[in-house]
C-alpha cells in the first residue's frame, strides 16, 4: 500500500478508505483490491462481479479527469509544477510560488475552521433537512477579516428547525459531486440490468440508502451541499437526476474562466450588506457562489429542471456556449505558456496537452462523451497503485531521475515518488517558515 502526502490541502475528498486520488502525485490509490484483482476485471461491460470495482474506479478516475481535463484543474497543475520548478532551480525570488500553491489548495477546500457542526444528526428521505444561505468573510494571513473576499455558507437545520451544521460551498463539494455521479451511474446501470423484479427492488433500495447517507449525514455535508442547492430550488425528488444536473453545472463552472464568472448576472435586492458581499463574490469569480447564483438564475428564468448549458449561460447573461468554449481553449493554451522553465516543464506540457484532448472529448460540462470506453482503451489514464503495490525507491538515483524527467518529461512511479516526495517535504517546510 502506498502512503501519500499530508503536507498540502487536498481538494479531492477522500471519504472512503477503499480508494483515493492524490493531486500532488497525480495518482489513484485502490487500497481495497490487489493489482491482480483489478486486472481480472473486464470493464467493457457491467456485471455482478465487477460493478462495485468499476464504480470505485470511475469515482477516482473522475477526480483525475477533473484535475487534468478542466481549466480549474490545469491551472492548479501549473501552480504545482511551477512551485516545484522554483525549488529545483534554487531561485529564491521565485519561491513565492510555493505559498501561492498552498493558498490555492486551501481556498478550494475551505474546510476545518469554516465548517461548524452544532450536533450530529442523521436525516432521511422521510425526515428532510432544511437549509438557508448565509455569507461571511474570509480571514487573511495575519488573521484580519477580508471584507473584499467573502464566501458563501449553507446552514442546515432539522425538519423541526434545530441547527445541524454550517458548511462553505467549495470546489471540493463540486469535485465530490462529479465523482459521486459517475460512481452511482455505474451502480444504477447495474440495477437496471437485473431482470428479476424482487432482486432489482432490493438493489434499488440499497442504492437509495447510499444516496440517503451521503445527503443526510452531518460529516458529509461539505461534499453534498451542491446537491442540496440543486434539488431544493428545482423541486427534484429523483436523486440521480439531482446529481446529474449538479455534476453538469459543476463541471461547467470548473471550465469557466474567473473573468467570465465575474460578468454573471446578480439581481440583488437582498439587503445592503448581502448585496455588497454577493457583488464581491461575483467580482472574484467565486465558484461556490457562482453555483448558487447561476442555479438561482436558471430556475428564475426557465423554471424547474431546465438545465442545459445554453440555458445556464443565457440566464446569467454570459457568452453563448460556442464563444465560451473558444475562451476556455484559449486559456488552456495560455496555461502552457505559464509553465516556467525547470525540470518539470516537459512533464507539465505533456499533462496539459493531454488535458486539452480530454476537455475536447468530454465537453464543457462533461456530458459530451461518457468515459466508459476510456477504461477499456486506457487512452487517458492515470497511474494506479493497489493494496499490494510496493513502491521501492531505494534503487532510484535522484539526479538521474531529475535529468530524465527534465529531458523526456517521463518518470516511472518509483522515480515520481522519489522526486515528488522530496519536493513535497521541502516545499512543506518552506510554507511553515513563511512569515516567521
pLDDT at residue 356 above 50?
Answer: yes
Pick the range with the lowest mean pLDDT from 268-272, 343-347, 367-371: 367-371
Q: How far apart are CA 277 and CA 296, in angstroms?
A: 17
Please report whether residue 37 resides in a domain: yes
Q: Count up the domains in the chain and report the number.
A: 1
Q: How far apart are CA 299 and CA 306, in angstroms?
A: 7
Please report whether residue 317 resides in a domain: yes
CA 185 to chain centre: 17
Between the CA atoms of 125, 129, 130 and 133, what dihedral angle is there, to the nearest 10 degrees?
-120
Question: What percent of the chain has pLDDT above 70?
Answer: 93
Q: Quickly list DSSP for 116-144.
A: EESS--B--SSS--EEEEEEEEEE-TTS-
Please report whether residue 188 resides in a domain: yes
Query: What residue spans of 339-395 are helical by DSSP H?
Result: 345-362, 372-377
Give residue 18's pLDDT band: very low, low, confident or very high (50, 70, 90).
Answer: confident
Please report whether residue 143 resides in a domain: no
Please report whether residue 298 resides in a domain: yes
Please report whether residue 161 resides in a domain: no
Please report whether residue 273 resides in a domain: no
pLDDT at residue 2 above 50?
Answer: no
Please report whether residue 128 resides in a domain: no
Is 148 in a helix, a strand, or coil? strand
Give residue 145's pLDDT band: very low, low, confident or very high (50, 70, 90).
Answer: confident
Give residue 8's pLDDT band: very low, low, confident or very high (50, 70, 90).
Answer: low
Domain range for 252: 19-112+173-267+285-433
In this prediction, residue 5 carries a pLDDT of: 43
| Tens-digit pLDDT profile for residues 223-258 | 899 999 999 999 999 999 999 999 999 999 999 999
The values of phi and psi at residue 35, to 5°, are -65, -40
pLDDT at residue 141 above 80?
Answer: no
Amino acid at each position: 500500500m502506498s502512503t501519500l502526502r499530508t503536507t498540502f490541502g487536498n481538494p479531492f475528498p477522500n471519504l472512503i478508505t477503499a480508494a483515493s486520488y492524490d493531486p500532488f502525485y497525480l495518482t489513484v490509490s485502490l487500497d481495497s483490491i490487489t493489482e491482480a484483482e483489478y486486472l481480472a476485471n473486464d470493464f467493457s461491460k457491467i456485471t455482478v462481479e465487477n460493478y462495485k470495482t468499476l464504480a470505485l474506479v470511475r469515482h477516482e478516475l473522475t477526480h483525475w479527469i477533473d484535475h487534468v481535463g478542466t481549466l480549474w484543474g490545469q491551472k492548479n497543475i501549473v501552480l504545482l509544477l511551477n512551485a516545484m520548478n522554483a525549488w529545483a532551480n534554487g531561485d529564491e525570488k521565485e519561491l513565492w510560488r510555493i505559498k501561492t500553491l498552498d493558498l490555492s489548495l486551501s481556498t478550494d477546500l475551505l474546510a476545518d475552521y469554516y465548517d461548524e457542526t452544532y450536533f450530529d444528526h442523521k436525516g432521511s428521505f422521510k425526515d428532510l433537512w432544511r437549509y438557508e444561505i448565509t455569507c461571511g468573510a474570509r480571514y487573511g494571513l495575519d488573521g484580519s477579516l477580508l471584507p473584499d473576499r467573502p464566501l458563501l455558507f449553507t446552514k442546515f437545520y432539522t425538519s423541526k428547525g434545530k441547527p445541524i451544521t454550517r458548511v462553505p460551498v467549495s470546489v471540493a463539494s463540486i469535485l465530490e459531486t462529479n465523482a459521486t455521479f459517475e460512481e452511482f451511474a455505474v451502480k444504477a446501470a447495474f440495477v437496471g440490468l437485473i431482470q428479476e423484479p424482487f432482486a432489482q427492488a432490493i438493489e434499488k433500495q440499497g442504492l437509495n440508502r447510499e444516496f440517503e447517507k451521503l445527503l443526510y449525514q452531518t460529516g458529509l455535508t461539505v461534499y453534498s451541499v451542491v446537491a442540496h442547492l440543486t434539488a431544493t430550488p428545482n423541486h427534484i425528488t429523483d436523486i440521480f437526476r439531482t446529481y446529474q444536473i449538479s455534476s453538469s453545472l459543476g463541471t461547467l463552472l470548473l471550465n469557466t474562466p474567473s473573468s467570465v464568472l465575474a460578468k454573471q448576472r446578480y439581481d440583488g435586492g437582498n439587503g445592503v450588506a448581502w448585496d455588497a458581499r454577493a457583488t464581491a463574490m461575483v467580482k472574484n469569480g467565486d465558484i461556490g457562489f457562482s453555483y448558487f447564483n447561476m442555479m438561482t438564475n436558471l430556475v428564475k428564468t426557465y423554471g424547474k429542471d431546465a438545465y442545459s448549458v445554453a440555458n445556464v449561460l443565457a440566464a446569467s447573461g454570459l457568452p453563448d456556449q460556442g464563444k465560451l468554449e473558444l475562451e476556455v481553449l484559449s486559456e488552456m493554451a495560455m496555461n502552457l505558456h505559464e509553465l516556467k522553465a525547470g525540470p518539470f516543464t516537459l512533464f507539465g506540457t505533456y499533462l496539459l496537452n493531454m488535458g486539452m484532448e480530454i476537455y475536447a472529448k468530454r465537453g464543457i460540462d462533461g456530458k459530451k462523451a461518457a468515459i466508459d470506453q476510456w477504461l477499456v482503451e486506457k487512452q487517458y489514464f492515470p497511474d494506479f497503485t493497489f493494496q499490494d503495490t510496493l513502491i521501492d525507491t531505494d534503487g532510484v538515483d535522484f539526479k538521474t531521475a531529475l535529468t530524465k524527467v527534465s529531458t523526456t518529461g517521463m518518470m516511472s512511479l518509483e522515480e515520481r515518488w522519489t522526486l515528488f516526495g522530496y519536493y513535497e517535504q521541502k516545499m512543506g517546510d518552506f510554507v511553515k517558515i513563511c512569515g516567521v
